Amino acid sequence: MTKIVQIAGKAVPIRGDDIDTDRITPARFLKTTTFDEEFLKGALFADDRKILGGKKFSGASVMIVNKNFGCGSSREHSPQAIKAFGIKALIGVSFAEIFASNCEAIGLVTVRVSERKAVELQAFVEEDPEAIIEIDLQEKLISYGDLDMHFEISEGARQNFLHGTWNITKTMVDAISETRRKAGAIPYVNGFKKN
């Protein structure tokens, strides 16, 4: 499994609090049961593409957001669309809990900074769209220009990224014998199949 220690790249600022999953991926894109990257790239902010900043922020691998990003329904399509677009990490003031969990499950890093720092970072990127933002999970540090800022992330998520154990499905499949043994010991799991 892939360890995620550092992420570096250009960033796209997405301004606004309470940006919900219906805005991130409108409901009409939920027809798909597979997470086809090309389809999902087109779904990301489909009704509000200008929020992505056009060519000015193309090629970004970091998204900088404000408060309560990813609120609303728990649709997995939203993190999948963000990842399909090329984003590897989100820096924000806060994230909806289920959204952040769905991000972690696909290796999409979410880190938290203060409101003031998020706004400063958005302004920095708007001023210099070619600037490289670096997120160091080992040091819990964001570097940009000549500046650094510390961030918060749940220690469990951080350790999962650093050790490459963020994909729980792969972890369970890789340890299928142990998975079957534990599932068989759970009283309400009946008929757990061995193949």
Q: How confident is the model at residue 74 (pLDDT cuts 50, 70, 90)?
A: confident
My answer on whether 118 and 195 are in the same domain is no
My answer on whether 103 and 171 are in the same domain is no
- Does 127 map to a domain? yes
Q: How confident is the model at residue 84 (pLDDT cuts 50, 70, 90)?
A: very high
My answer on whether 37 and 61 are in the same domain is yes
Q: What is the mean pLDDT of residues 154-182?
A: 83
Strands 147-150 and 62-64: unpaired
pLDDT at residue 23, as a whole number: 96
pLDDT at residue 33, as a whole number: 67
My answer on whether 33 and 12 are in the same domain is yes
Nearest to 73 by CA among 24, 17, 14: 24
Scored b (16 or more CB within 10 A) or e, 165-185 reads ebbeeeeeeeeeeeeeeeeee
- Does 1 map to a domain? no
- Does 183 map to a domain? yes
Instruction: Tell me the pTM.
Output: 0.87
> Is the CA virtual torsion 104, 102, 69, 27 positive or negative?
positive
My answer on whether 143 and 64 are in the same domain is yes
My answer on whether 90 and 173 are in the same domain is no
Range of 64's domain? 6-164
- What value does the mean pLDDT of the chain take? 90
Strand locations in 75-187 (E): 89-92, 109-112, 133-136, 141-144, 147-150
Judge whether residue 192 has pLDDT over 60.
no
My answer on whether 110 and 180 are in the same domain is no
CB atoms closer than 10 angstroms to residue 110: 25
- Of 7-11, 15-19, 162-166, minimum mean pLDDT range: 162-166
Distance CA 155, CA 157 (A): 5
My answer on whether 158 and 188 are in the same domain is no
Residue 42: CATH number of its domain: 3.20.19.10
- 20-56 confidence digits (pLDDT tens): 999 999 988 877 667 778 888 889 999 999 999 999 9
My answer on whether 174 and 159 are in the same domain is no
My answer on whether 160 and 188 are in the same domain is no
pLDDT at residue 29, as a whole number: 84
How far out from the chain centre does Cα 11 lie? 13
Q: How many domains, the chain?
A: 2
My answer on whether 54 and 82 are in the same domain is yes
